[in-house]
Structure 1
Amino acid sequence: MKNDFEEKMADIMIGEAVTALLEEDIAISWAVLTDRLRAAIEHETDEDRVRAGLRAIEEVRREMQIRAAENTGVYGTDGMSAQKLH
């Protein structure tokens, strides 16, 4: 149950970060999104939001790795193309 809450909160935090970047007319990239999420939790006092923010950062990093693997043609340990991992 807690994982579902953290997952939803992480998605919300990603959405908030993307919305803020769009409102500020800042080009969105994986690095900018990660930096924005990191900044969002820097002064956060709500423990649930901090955990969700850290989870959101990890999700973005994982997605970055998947995209990088797709672009380089790197294959996973199971022999499948990284494209087919998600």
Structure 2
Amino acid sequence: MKNDFEDKMADIMLGEAVTALLDEDVAISWAALTDRLRSAIEIETDEDRIRAGLRAIEEVRREMHVRNGEKTEGKRVAALTEQKLH
């Protein structure tokens, strides 16, 4: 039950961060999103929201690593394919 609450709170924090960036007409990026979440938890006083913000930052970092891994793997496959064709 606690994990569901924490997951929902993390999603809410992510949504708030994205909405704030869009309202400010800032380009959405991994860095901008994590910076916005960090700023939010620095001024936050509610412990549940602080934990949710930290969890959201970890989710963003995990997603960054997954996406970067996919790009790296794709480049390796393309390089190998290119080598085999020549």
TM range (shorter): 0.7 to 0.9
Number of aligned residue pairs: 74
Per residue, is there more helix in 1 or in 2? 2
CA root-mean-square deviation: 0.9
Letter in structure 1 aligned against 2:72: T
Mapping 1:66-77, distance limit 5 Å = 66-73=66-73
Q: Percent identity?
A: 80
Runs of 4+ in structure 1 over 6 Å off: none
What's the offset of the Cα at 1:19?
A: 0.5
Question: Unaligned regions of 5+ residues in structure 1, if any?
Answer: 75-86
Mapping 1:32-47, distance limit 5 Å = 32-47=32-47
Letter in structure 1 aligned against 2:14: I
Question: Unaligned regions of 5+ residues in structure 2, if any?
Answer: 75-86
Larger radius of gyration: 2
Q: Report the counterpart of residue 27 of structure 1 in structure 2.
A: 27
Q: Report the counterpart of residue 56 of structure 2 in structure 1.
A: 56
